Each structure stands twice: as structure tokens, then as C-alpha cells.
Amino acid sequence: MDRRDFLKAGSAAAASALAPVGFGEVQAGDGSSTAASGRMILPINRNWRFSRPMAATATDAAHGKDFDDSGFDMVVVPHTNILLPWHSFDEKSYEIISLYRRKFKLPAEAGSQLKGSKRVFVDFEGAMTASTVWINGTKLGEYKGGYTPFSFELTKYVDFDGENVLAVDVDSTERADIPPFGYQIDYLTFGGIYREVALRIVPQTFIENVFAQPKAVLSSAPTVDVHTYIQHGDGGQAMTLLVELLDGEKVIASGTAKIPAGVAAAAEPMEHVVTLEKLGPIKLWDLKNPNLYHARVTLQQGKIALDQEMRRFGFREAVFTKEGFKLNGKVIKLRGLDRHQTFPYVGQAMPARPQKQDAKILRETLRCNIVRTSHYPQSRHFLDACDEIGLLVLEEIPGWQHIGPLPWQDISVDNVSRMIRRDWNHPSIITWGVRINESRDNHDFYVRTNAMAHKLDPSRPTCGIRYFQSSEFLEDVFTMNDFGWPLLPPNHDAYLNTEFVGHTYPAKSIDNMERLTEHTLRHARVHDQLASNPQYAGGIGWCFFDYNTHGDFGSGDRMCYHGVADFFRERKPAGGFYKSQCDPGEEIVLEPAFHWARNDESTQFSKAVVSSNCDNLKFYLKGQLIADAKPDREQFKYLKYAPFDVDLTKVDLSSLWADLRIDGYIAGKQVISRQYSGHGLDQQFAVLPDDTTLIADGADTTRVVFRVTDEFDNIRPYAGDPIALTLEGPAEIIGDNPFALVGGTGAIWIRAKQEAGMAVLTAKHPRLGEQKVTFTLTASEPERA
Ligand code: GAL
């Protein structure tokens, strides 16, 4: 959570000691308050006017103040420039230059009395791919890049009392001058202002950024260097920087720095470091207990607090060694998945809740301990969730195989800087990916990206994702996409496998079970080999879920079916393998990689592969024990929890065919039991919302999963029925209606409108009845600008 969330959290949170200060409520170090100082963050996500390209939007007038945009759509960001089917569409449909316009008036307390004392910025968290911004008809410039944040200063042009108009041309074409474009890429980038936007009103001299860098965290005397970046305005008087460390709401350490008078205004912010010592016992951030602290910095002039900022961070030591990856001195074998940030229907335009849900699925359902944000910086909400639930992150710059000419490389080096300066406080991030994924060597370029990363953040190692081992090693960790089998031996001390399986064995959830079983085993085999040698820090498999791609990749329907989960985040059997690698203390797992059907294999059912962290599994038919199985140690010598591969060819299934029961045992004690119907009938229709309370801000969204199951809740993989949907109340359906199940499952999303109340979704299966879900839509403060 950062300052924006605090401000959005409403008055209760704003009153707490953790709240950053707004206008007129700045607290000086001695607790006194002063008026008319501080900063104001004004989200402007609602009330945008949007138009797809037409003759009128390409004119100068369209970017001016008086243009009549009343015929445009009224939209809320995150926004996609076109709603799409979940697959089989033409990417040209979003490759457009669209126009967004947003009128705003600054609140009264930010009005003309502050002219001269305040600066006003507009902050975009992400718009795909190039954005040209105007304020009141004056063009401010173009920002090139879809995955990194950017700001424009409005101070000179803004009307502090009257109405203002921001206009943004968002160019969502694949521009060869901007990473990742210039060649092919195996994913889609979509279009629109797809992350949040805010106005930021700050004093002339203000806090531009804060980096809290813990040191000696495993010693008896940990410290934290708090780097505060101050953007100085003209004619500065002497100031004091107060830096406080907060555990919850309690200040547990503080320090100050003096800033002399007469610091001249400069284009770049000035860095001031305050080291906080004598912190007392510190709770480390780790995977089980992701303890978080806050650094609060206040810029003071005498008793007046000019500005205040807060950043969340954690104390942990993360290093790559020849013995593997160590978190807080303990080796942790990395086990994770690559994640694209795309969703069905809306591309990348999803707000906080579904972003956080992805992190939860990775950590709490698939039991991964690491994710790679392939192939670009992802939503801050996703990263916040990783901090909160203890999921490690490899974050990398935008790019895919292609390196463009020098100006393109300049943008890429700048991407390194923007990524790190946005995300350096996340304890979950353990390495920065500073190469273009799978590109060839380019000495000069990669010397620059590494230097930038090391200069900004000496506390984290760099890496860069490669496809050949002889590649020049300029980073700290050698990260390699090794799709071969067996895997190559590590050729550097710090060595991490960052992709495998993927396109070498696509698997759809509607595929024959033999393929899905083999898909599971391939992931298991790779992790087994990775377990064989401590020098492999671990493996990040390709990939978390199926994703949209260009026509020259994938399965011919603009999809790569490479996920261990489908596009709706419903897991395939391979997802069960990842899950099964957790400690039974976390969850006892028993996940078959087969579908209980008598004759769906080439001859008849013979091979029951199960991913499980149990010691042995007993299989029963009609109450008769038909197998007592141990993990398959012949095939999987090194995995802590080897899958079970049970041969049932000798079982007389024609006489015994019935419901299958599998009991799992640990240390001789039965700990789990699962059943699989032998009836071969679709029995139940389930509707499973991730959440039933949404904030009525026009953006908040949650997923609703549909499943057709047997009587024991197992998905019936060949159910493809249409689910007819009706929604009453102030919310909308994102998705197809009717929705045709894929592999017995699938999902739509429900997005709140801006009106509080109740919404009721009715989902009707043609034969298995209907289910209703009621959503509570809680009131949200209107935006103030
Ligand atoms: C890799 C690439 C990924 C994806 C994957 C498919 O080479 O880095 O982005 O395309 O192949 O298996």
C-alpha cells in the first residue's frame, strides 16, 4: 500500500497516525499542525471521455479546452480501448490512436491562493503504448512506453480556480521506436489508459521519492538507510528532513538531516540519506511471515512541515550463491511461474483486486514461492500483494528478443530507471531483470542497463533472461530459459532457470488427458532435475496461465496454451504438480493428473498419475483396495514430493468400475481422502465469486468462476455448455453472455458502477439449474477533481 491507497482509504484511515498529510493537516515533527502546506493527491480515474479514432479527434481543436466531447463515451480507468472476445480476434482492432479527455477543477483549498507556492503534476501509472498529453490546449509532450509510469508538470498552464481539460492521444499501435516493438513478440499489448491516473499538488520544494534500504538485517544491529529524493524549488531556505521508522503505527526509530539554505532549483532531485540505527528487535520479512514496516519522511522548515511521504518496505536478506538462493540465510529452492499481466476481454485493464487475486492464486493455490513479471514491470497492486503474502518476484524491463537502434536502447535504459525507482521498496523483489528477454548479446547496451540498476539500487542483484549459455555475463545472476531436456548444467555460480516446457508442450484444458498428464510430468521432471543440484537456484516455469498472442504464435486462435492454469486462472493438472510441492503443514495436497473415465486413453484407463505431498496413497474401488502406492522415486529421485505414477492395467476395471476413492497417508496416518465419480455424468453447477463486496468506484472488479462438476466437486473437463447470465443492479458483466464453458469451467468478471447498492448475478446452466450471487457495492467517495 502506498500513499495513494492511504488517501483513497477514506477519512478513518486518513486520521490514523499512518496517514500522509494533505493540505492544512501537516504535522510537524513536534506534533503541531500547520495549514496550507503538504501535498494533495487527487485520483482522476472517473469521468474520462473516450473516443476511438475519427476525423474530429485528429484535429488540434480536439485537444483544446472548448472541444465538444459530449458525444464521446464516458469511461473509468483502468480502461481498455476495445472490449474483445477472450480469443480469436484481430489484434489490429486495438492498434488505434484513441483520444481521452478529462475535465477537472482543483478543489477550493488548492485554488489561486496557492498559485506560486504549489506545483501541479499529472501522474499516469501506465498507458499503452505512447501518450501525447495536452493541458488546456497546450501540448506537454509525448511519453513513449506502455509499462512504466510517467508524469507531466501542469503548473504553468493550469487554471487554479477554473475548469481545466487534459487531453491524451494514446497510440496503441506497435511502434518500432518503442520497446518491446520492432520485431515479433509472443504476447499482445492491447491499448488504452489501463492503469490509474492522479493529480499531484506539491510545494515548490517537495519529496520526489523515498528508498528505504535495510542493511545488516541478519546482524544484532540492523539499520536502514532512508534515501529521500528532494526536488528543490527556487530560493530554498534551510530545512530539516525528519525520517521515522514505523512498526504499525508506532515510531520505533527516527533521525534527521539538515538541508542548508540556498540549494538552487535543479532539474534532478537531490538525494539525502538518513541512517536509522538502534532499531531494537526487527521482525524479518520472509515467506511465512511477511512483516512490513513504513518509512515516513517529513520535510520541515522550522515548525512548518512542508511535505510528507511514506513508503512500505521490509527487512530481509536475499542473495544468490553457489549453494542456491538464500533468504535470510536459509536456502530456498525457487519454485515459480512466469506471469503475463493480461486478462480475458479487457487485455491489461484490470484494477487492484484481480491483480492481487493473481498473486494469491500463485502463492495460496499453486503454492509457488516466486513469480517472474514476464516481460515487463507489472501493476503495483500485484507487487503490493506479493509483499503482503510472501511471494518473491523477479521483475524485468519490457522487451522480447529484439534490440532496436540507439534511441530505442535509450528508452530501455530509462525503463530500467523507472522500474527500479517505482519498485525499489518492495521486499518481494529479489532481482532486477535488465536485459531484453532472450535477446542476443549487446555489450554496450547491457553495460548501460546494468550500470543504471547498480547505481540506483546496489542492494539487489541484476539478472537478464537468456536463451544461450555462452552469452556475455554482465549481471549478478545468470538467468536462463532452458527449454531443452535434460537441462544444461549450471555454468555460473548464481544460476536460475527462468522458463521451461511452454511452447515445447502446449496443453489445453480440453485436451485429451494423456496430454495433460504428460504436461504435468514434464514440469515435474524439470523441477526434479533442478532439485538434483543446489547450484540451480530453482525454476520458473512457462507459464502461470494461457495468454493472448499474435497470429504467428500459439494455437491459431491468438492463444498460447502454455499455462499450468487456463486463461481464467483455473488450474490444469500441471498446476496440481506445483501445488503438491508445498509442505504438508501448509496444505495437504492430492491432485490427480487424470480424469476418471474408463476408456478415454488409447486402449483403456491404465495410468493414474497423482501429484501429492503424502507418503503413500491407497486407491479403492467398491471398497476394495486396488493399489497402495509410493511416490515414483525411479523417475523422480530428487523432488521432495515426487508425483505418484500408479499402474492400473492389472485391475479388472470392467467388473470393478465405480467411484474411485484415494486416501493419502503421512507417517502412517490417513490425512486426506478424495473421490472421483464413476458415473460419467455432469452433476453439479457451481458459481464461485472471488469476492462479494465491491467498491462502487466504477472500476472495482471481481472474478466469478463457473464449474460443472461431478457429485464430488471435480470438474467435468468436457462440459462446454452455455451459461446464460442476467445481472440486476449497478454493476456490469465483463465477458461473454451467454458464456460457453471451456473444459468444464471458465469465468466472467463483475465490474462495479459508481452507485452503491446491491447487484444480483443469475447464472443459468441449461440443465443443472441456476445459481444467484449477490454483490454488495459499497459507497465510494466521489473524486475531488
Ligand atoms: C520463450 C519466451 C516466452 C514465450 C515462451 C513460450 O522463448 O521467452 O515469452 O514465448 O518462449 O514457450
> What distance in Å separates the CA atoms of residue 699 and residue 694, rounded to the nearest whole number?
9
**Residues making up the chain, counted from first to last:** 785
Q: Which residues, 6 or more positions from 106, have their beta carbon under 8 angstroms from its beta carbon?
A: 42, 120, 158, 160, 161, 164, 199, 201, 785
Kindly give the distance from the C-alpha atom of residue 438 to the centroid of ligand 1, in angstroms, as a whole number: 8
Query: What is the pairing mode between strands 392-396 and 130-135?
Result: unpaired
pLDDT band at 108 (very low <50, low <70, confident <90, very high): confident
Kindly give the distance from the C-alpha atom of residue 146 to the centroid of ligand 1, in angstroms, as a whole number: 20
Q: What number does the ligand 1 atom closest to the CA of 503 have? A: 12
Kindly give the distance from the C-alpha atom of residue 399 to the centroid of ligand 1, in angstroms, as a whole number: 12
Q: What local confidence, expressed as pLDDT, does residue 235 receive? A: 67
The number of helix segments (H) and strand segments (E) in the chain equals 9, 50
Question: CB atoms < 10 A from the CB of 58, how many?
Answer: 12
Stretch 300-308: mean pLDDT: 91
pLDDT at position 14 over 60 = no
> Which amino acid appears at position 359 of this protein?
A
Q: What local confidence, expressed as pLDDT, does residue 775 receive? A: 98
Kindly give the distance from the C-alpha atom of residue 711 to the centroid of ligand 1, in angstroms, as a whole number: 38
Q: In this structure, what DSSP letter does residue 400 have?
A: B
> What distance in Å separates the CA atoms of residue 75 and residue 308, rounded to the nearest whole number?
32
100 lines ligand 1 (CB under 6 A): no
Query: What is the pairing mode between strands 769-778 and 757-765?
Result: antiparallel
> What distance in Å separates the CA atoms of residue 397 and residue 375, rounded to the nearest whole number?
7
**Catalytic residue IDs:** 438, 499
Task: Give 482-516 pLDDT, tens digit per residue.
Answer: 999 999 999 999 999 999 999 999 999 999 999 99
Task: Give 41-50 pLDDT, tens digit per residue.
Answer: 999 999 999 9
Task: Give 553-592 pLDDT, tens digit per residue.
Answer: 999 999 999 999 999 999 999 999 999 999 999 999 999 9
Kindly give the distance from the C-alpha atom of residue 503 to the centroid of ligand 1, in angstroms, as a whole number: 7
Q: Whose CA is nearest to atom 4 of ligand 1?
A: 186
Q: What local confidence, expressed as pLDDT, does residue 332 receive? A: 98
* Count of alpha carbons within 13 angstroms of residue 706, beta-carbon side: 33
Q: What local confidence, expressed as pLDDT, does residue 37 receive? A: 54
Q: Which residues, 6 or more positions from 585, have their beta carbon under 8 angstroms from its beta carbon?
A: none
338 lines ligand 1 (CB under 6 A): no
Kindly give the distance from the C-alpha atom of residue 560 to the centroid of ligand 1, in angstroms, as a whole number: 10
- Return the closest-CA partner of residue 338 out of 188, 545, 93, 638: 545
DSSP H or E run through 357: helix 352-360
Q: Confirm whether pTM is higher than 0.75.
A: yes
Mean pLDDT of the chain: 94
396 lines ligand 1 (CB under 6 A): no
193, three cell numbers: 489508459
> What distance in Å separates the CA atoms of residue 709 and residue 683, rounded to the nearest whole number?
6
Q: What local confidence, expressed as pLDDT, does residue 110 receive? A: 77
Q: Whose CA is nearest to atom 9 of ligand 1?
A: 186
pLDDT at position 237 over 90 = no
Measure CA of the first residue to CA of the last residue in the chain; give whole Å. 22
498 lines ligand 1 (CB under 6 A): no
Say if CB 482 and CB 490 are below 8 A apart. Answer: no
476 lines ligand 1 (CB under 6 A): no
Stretch 263-268: mean pLDDT: 85
528 lines ligand 1 (CB under 6 A): no
Q: What number does the ligand 1 atom closest to the CA of 374 have? A: 9
DSSP H or E run through 524: helix 513-531
502 lines ligand 1 (CB under 6 A): yes
475 lines ligand 1 (CB under 6 A): no
pLDDT at position 81 over 80 = yes
Task: Give 323-343 pLDDT, tens digit per residue.
Answer: 999 999 999 999 999 999 999
Stretch 152-181: mean pLDDT: 97
Burial of 679 (0-12, 13-18, 19+ CB in 10 A): exposed
> What distance in Å separates the CA atoms of residue 131 and residue 464, rounded to the nearest whole number?
28
pLDDT at position 436 over 90 = yes
Q: What number does the ligand 1 atom closest to the CA of 186 have? A: 10
Residue indicated by cell numbers 476418471: 596
Mutate to test the pocket of ligand 1, among 503, 522, 526, 544 (most ligand atoms within 8 A of CB): 503
Stretch 467-476: mean pLDDT: 98
152 lines ligand 1 (CB under 6 A): no
634, three cell numbers: 525411479
549 lines ligand 1 (CB under 6 A): no
Kindly give the distance from the C-alpha atom of residue 333 to the centroid of ligand 1, in angstroms, as a whole number: 23
pLDDT at position 109 over 90 = no
503 lines ligand 1 (CB under 6 A): yes
546 lines ligand 1 (CB under 6 A): no
Residue 92, phi-psi category: left (phi > 0), alpha (psi -120 to 50), beta (remainder): alpha
Q: In this structure, what DSSP letter does residue 593 have?
A: S
DSSP per-residue codes, 71-82: TSEEE-SS--SS
Mutate to test the pocket of ligand 1, among 185, 500, 542, 545 (most ligand atoms within 8 A of CB): 542
Asked which of 114-118, 459-463, 489-493, 603-607 is least confident by mean pLDDT, the reply is 114-118
Kindly give the distance from the C-alpha atom of residue 106 to the centroid of ligand 1, in angstroms, as a whole number: 46
> What distance in Å separates the CA atoms of residue 428 and residue 314, rounded to the nearest whole number?
9
Kindly give the distance from the C-alpha atom of residue 214 to the centroid of ligand 1, in angstroms, as a whole number: 35
Q: Whose CA is nearest to atom 3 of ligand 1?
A: 186
DSSP per-residue codes, 425-446: T-TTEEEEE-S-BTPPP-HHHH
Report the sign of the C-alpha dihedral through residues 366, 368, 372, 378, in that order.
Answer: positive
> What distance in Å separates the CA atoms of residue 601 and residue 295, rounded to the nearest whole number?
59
Stretch 358-377: mean pLDDT: 98
Q: What number does the ligand 1 atom closest to the CA of 501 have? A: 12
Kindly give the distance from the C-alpha atom of residue 271 to the centroid of ligand 1, in angstroms, as a whole number: 39
pLDDT at position 15 over 80 = no
339 lines ligand 1 (CB under 6 A): no
> Which amino acid appears at position 778 of this protein?
T
550 lines ligand 1 (CB under 6 A): no
Kindly give the distance from the C-alpha atom of residue 502 to the centroid of ligand 1, in angstroms, as a whole number: 7
pLDDT at position 290 over 90 = yes
Mutate to test the pocket of ligand 1, among 185, 186, 543 (most ligand atoms within 8 A of CB): 186
pLDDT at position 4 over 50 = no
4 lines ligand 1 (CB under 6 A): no
Q: What number does the ligand 1 atom closest to the CA of 401 have? A: 8
Q: What local confidence, expressed as pLDDT, does residue 100 receive? A: 98
Mutate to test the pocket of ligand 1, among 480, 499, 547 (most ligand atoms within 8 A of CB): 499
Stretch 381-400: mean pLDDT: 98
pLDDT at position 18 over 70 = no
Say if CB 646 and CB 619 are below 8 A apart. Answer: yes
Task: Give 516-540 pLDDT, tens digit per residue.
Answer: 999 999 999 999 999 999 999 999 9
Q: What local confidence, expressed as pLDDT, does residue 116 receive? A: 77
Task: Give 662-683 pLDDT, tens digit per residue.
Answer: 999 999 999 999 999 999 999 9
Residue indicated by cell numbers 499489448: 189
> What distance in Å separates the CA atoms of residue 34 and residue 19, rounded to the nearest whole number?
16
pLDDT at position 3 over 50 = no
Say if CB 778 and CB 7 are below 8 A apart. Answer: no
- Return the closest-CA partner of residue 243 out of 233, 231, 232, 258: 258
